[in-house]
Amino acid sequence: MRIDHVAIAVNNLDEAVKQYKTALGIKEIEFETIESEGVRVAILHLNNSRIELMEPTKDSSPIKKFLETRGEGLHHIALETDEIESEVERMKGCGIRFLGEVRPGSQGTKITFIHPKSLHGVLTELCSHPK
């Protein structure tokens, strides 16, 4: 596995993108709306990873609830794996709890989330990029 991205919840995606772009000197940014998750993301490409800024698109979005209770900030880290389904089964055998099943994510990925209580309070996404 490797760190794929770090996700940050923000109230205003356009303002956050301007700040990150200027502060970090980022040139390549992609935008995507993921209807199933109720979120609009800006993907900021770094040399060896990515930062995803996330803004909720509807009141039922988990990001909206996160912002209301915790405010802006680190939401989760994402780990990339080649075989997400087998990795999920292996982890379940170790007692790891998941939040939902494997499902579509941004940029054609497959994703699922590990419950924060399984990894000492850190929400962790597993993702697998299309081959």
Predicted confidence band at 48 (pLDDT cuts at 50, 70, 90)?
Answer: confident
- What average pLDDT does the segment 51-76 reach? 96
Are the C-beta atoms of 78 and 54 separated by less than 8 Å? no
Sheet-wide strand order for 2-9? 29-34, 39-45, 50-56, 2-9, 73-80, 124-128, 110-114, 98-104
Q: How far apart are CA 122 and CA 96, in angstroms?
A: 13
Q: How far apart are CA 127 and CA 111, in angstroms?
A: 4
Q: pLDDT tens digit string along 66-107?
A: 999 999 999 999 999 999 999 999 999 999 999 999 999 888
Domain count across the chain: 1
Q: How far apart are CA 74 and CA 72, in angstroms?
A: 7
Q: pLDDT tens digit string along 12-37?
A: 999 999 999 999 999 889 999 999 88
Are the C-beta atoms of 70 and 28 separated by less than 8 Å? no
At 13, which CATH number? 3.10.180.10
Residue-level pLDDT at 58: 96
Residue-level pLDDT at 32: 95
- What average pLDDT does the segment 47-64 reach? 95
Other beta carbons within 10 Å of 120: 6
Predicted confidence band at 118 (pLDDT cuts at 50, 70, 90)?
Answer: very high
pTM of the entire structure?
0.90
Range of the domain at 17: 2-128
